[in-house]
């Protein structure tokens, strides 16, 4: 039996795609290899969202060449494959397949051709493709990534995704529910619905709120999350469905990108600072205890000190529970690269702003987390903690990481804990003692 090893970079959508590819190849007779040096086929599923994501992949391809079996097939998939296509084949003689996000159905055939020495780059978009008939081979033990939408119809000017993942298309509600029911049958209790602007999901008659209700009603599903939404697609009906569906967790990852109206406009985010603030207020009013995380880009072309101050002040005002922060990275072919060259900021300015933002984000998260020590949470135990020491890593509904002693629970268990301490970002938790039976009088 030939074996395949897949390495994944980038977002959860890529993780889900890797699981689909593995499933497809397993169905075609491949065993899953745990290491690249043992595999007959090595696939690197790539991200193109920032320059440094691509640099990492290029470095990794060089390393892999040294580890791989001499006759192993090397394939590059995902967003960087889509973006570079034939250019990747030209640049690296060891790579024999380059397959973009809509081409995974052909993988077994492409690998067969590669064995016969044919190299190929497949970068066509396929608006019908949802891989509905693929049986995903899941990496994670307790939660399932469920793609519900592929591609993106927004055109944020910094973003490569519309070019690497193509136009937006929503997967059918019945297909989503079938997959959710099947993971629930396998004993998974949490699902994460994935889409580039996931809350714009629609099948023409039903909206994302309907999808949330339907997923939340599947037997055995205790937690529903989704990522990433766009602020403009949080209609009242979607927010009402979140509030009214008990399985939907009290956490939203709501990309803000900037707090300056001028920058938001140049980014073509299609909302203003006030619009973002209003979205947060509506979500918080509907969902008590909601935790909010975000993505922020610093150093977008033309960002002034005053613009950056606006980002800092909105960060403070919203009070994010966490934030992913990025330095702007110019991506070939995106509209932002056509802005006047004199708007590009010096590295030192970007670095300085980035450091200041990270400090602020951490301080705010810490302050919010410190206040939560002593509170109770239901946590789902996800995996062994990386730091070891007989600890398990669990997660609360509001997306806080809580370390618990491994003797109190097993992976996949739900547990009621009291938060006993915080590093500022993660927590320790102790199980809430089951109430002792009252002594029997007499």
Does 255 sit near ligand 5AD (CB under 6 A)? yes
Edge-first strand listing for the sheet containing 223-227: 143-147, 190-194, 223-227
| Rounded least distance, CB 194 to ligand 5AD, Å | 12
Contact stretch for ligand 5AD (CB under 6 A) within 80-88, 173-181, 321-329, 377-385:
321-329
325 binds, among ligand SF4, ligand 5AD, none (CB under 5 to 8 A by kind): none
Cα torsion 285, 286, 287, 288: sign? positive
Residue 206 CB neighbour total at 10 angstroms: 14
> Between 31 and 50, how does the x/- string for binding to ligand SF4 read (CB under 6 A)?
----------------xxx-
Query: How do strand 391-396 and strand 376-384 relate by DSSP bridges?
Result: antiparallel
| Rounded least distance, CB 438 to ligand SF4, Å | 55
Q: How far apart are CA 415 and CA 408, in angstroms?
A: 9
> Of 208 and 328, which has the nearer Cβ to ligand 5AD?
328
Does 336 sit near ligand SF4 (CB under 6 A)? no
Question: Residue 418: beta bridge partners?
Answer: 376, 430
> Between 19 and 58, how does the x/- string for binding to ligand 5AD read (CB under 6 A)?
------------------------------xx--------
> Between 203 and 242, how does the x/- string for binding to ligand 5AD read (CB under 6 A)?
----------------------------------------
> Of 162 and 209, which has the nearer Cβ to ligand SF4?
162
SS3 25: helix
48 binds, among ligand 5AD, ligand SF4, none (CB under 5 to 8 A by kind): ligand SF4
- CB-based contact 56:27 (threshold 8 Å): no
> Of 175 and 295, which has the nearer Cβ to ligand 5AD?
295
Does 11 sit near ligand SF4 (CB under 6 A)? yes
326 binds, among ligand SF4, ligand 5AD, none (CB under 5 to 8 A by kind): ligand 5AD
Residue 224 CB neighbour total at 10 angstroms: 24
User: What residue spans of 68-143 are helical by DSSP H?
Assistant: 79-84, 86-91, 107-115
- CB-based contact 110:120 (threshold 8 Å): yes
Omega cis (within 30) before 228: yes
């Amino acid at each position: 039996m030939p074996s395949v090893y897949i390495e994944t970079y980038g977002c959860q959508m890529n993780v889900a795609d890797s699981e689909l590819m593995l499933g497809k190849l397993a169905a075609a007779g491949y065993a899953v290899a745990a290491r690249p040096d043992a595999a007959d086929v090595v696939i690197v599923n790539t991200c193109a969202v920032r320059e440094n994501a691509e640099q990492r992949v290029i470095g990794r391809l060089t390393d892999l060449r040294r580890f791989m079996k001499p006759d192993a097939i090397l394939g590059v998939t995902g967003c960087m494959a889509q973006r570079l296509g034939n250019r990747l084949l030209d640049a690296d003689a060891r790579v024999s397949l380059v397959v973009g996000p809509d081409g995974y159905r052909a993988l077994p055939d492409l690998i067969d051709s590669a064995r016969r020495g044919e190299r190929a780059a497949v970068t066509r978009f396929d608006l019908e493709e949802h891989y509905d008939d693929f049986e995903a081979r899941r990496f994670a033990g307790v939660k399932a990534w469920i793609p519900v939408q592929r591609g993106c119809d927004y055109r944020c000017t910094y973003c490569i995704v519309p070019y690497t993942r193509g136009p937006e298309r929503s997967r059918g509600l019945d297909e989503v529910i079938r997959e959710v029911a099947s993971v629930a049958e396998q004993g998974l209790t949490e699902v994460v619905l994935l889409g580039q602007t996931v809350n714009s999901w629609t099948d023409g008659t039903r909206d994302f709120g309907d999808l949330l209700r339907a997923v939340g009603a599947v037997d055995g599903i205790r937690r529903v999350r989704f990522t990433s939404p766009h602020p403009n697609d949080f209609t009242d009906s979607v927010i009402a469905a979140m509030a009214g569906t008990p399985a939907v967790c009290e956490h939203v990852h709501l990309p803000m990108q900037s707090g300056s109206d001028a920058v938001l406009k140049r980014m073509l985010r299609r909302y203003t600072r006030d619009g973002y603030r209003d979205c947060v207020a509506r979500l918080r009013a509907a969902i008590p205890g909601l935790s909010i995380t975000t993505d922020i880009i610093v150093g977008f072309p033309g960002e002034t000190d005053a613009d950056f101050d606006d980002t800092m002040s909105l960060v403070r005002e919203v009070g994010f529970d966490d934030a992913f922060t990025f330095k702007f990275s110019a991506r070939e072919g995106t509209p932002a690269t056509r802005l006047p060259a004199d708007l590009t900021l010096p590295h030192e300015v970007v670095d300085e702003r980035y450091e200041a933002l990270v400090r602020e984000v951490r301080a705010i998260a810490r302050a919010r987390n410190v206040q939560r020590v002593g509170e109770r949470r239901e946590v789902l135990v996800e995996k062994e903690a990386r730091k070891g020491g007989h600890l398990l890593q669990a997660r609360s509904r509001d997306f806080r990481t809580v370390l618990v002693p491994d003797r109190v629970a097993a992976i996949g268990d739900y547990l009621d804990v009291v938060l006993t301490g915080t590093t500022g970002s993660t927590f320790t938790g102790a199980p809430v003692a089951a109430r002792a039976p009252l002594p029997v009088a007499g």
